[in-house]
Amino acid sequence: MSHTEKQRRHVHVACAIVERDGLVLSALRSASMNLPLKWEFPGGKIEPGEGREECLKREMVEEMGVEVEVGQALTPATHSYPTFDVTLYPYLCRIASGEITLYEHSEVRWLPPAKMLELEWADADLPVILEYQQLSNRG
């Protein structure tokens, strides 16, 4: 069996579009992470038997030390990277309690939706940003 026929890894990730005062949280992956120094929505891999919202709440505590309230789901987005596939399940969120502490990322920024694409995002996040920008334009 050739390398390409092997079952590709497909990762399912819940991600948080954290909103505050009309701004959105963007997180910079640290140099030691997969896809280093790309911006992304915080979140993480959904564990077997774990619900998406449950995963998001756990990941936000682990990655940023905050409790979030999970709101509306946006359209899942699947992207094929050279070595694996990822499906993102984005949710609008807000911080319910805690102050952001960076346990994994190297930086965060709060940006107006219109300025999000000025950063260099992980490719999988781009369709999520575009949908979010359309949503925020309607409001």
| Domain ranges, residue 129 | 18-138
Q: Is the pLDDT of residue 44 over 80?
A: yes
Across residues 30-37, what is the average pLDDT? 89
Each residue of 96-122: pLDDT tens digit? 999 999 999 999 999 999 999 999 999
Let me know the angle formed at the C-alpha of 119 by 29 and 112, rounded to the nearest 5 degrees: 110
Task: State the total domains in the chain.
Answer: 1
Q: What is the mean pLDDT of the chain?
A: 94
In a domain, 23, yes or no: yes
67-90: b (≥16 Cβ within 10 Å) or e: ebebeeebeebebeeeeeebebbb
pTM of the model: 0.91
In a domain, 22, yes or no: yes
Q: Residue 64's domain is classified under what CATH number?
A: 3.90.79.10
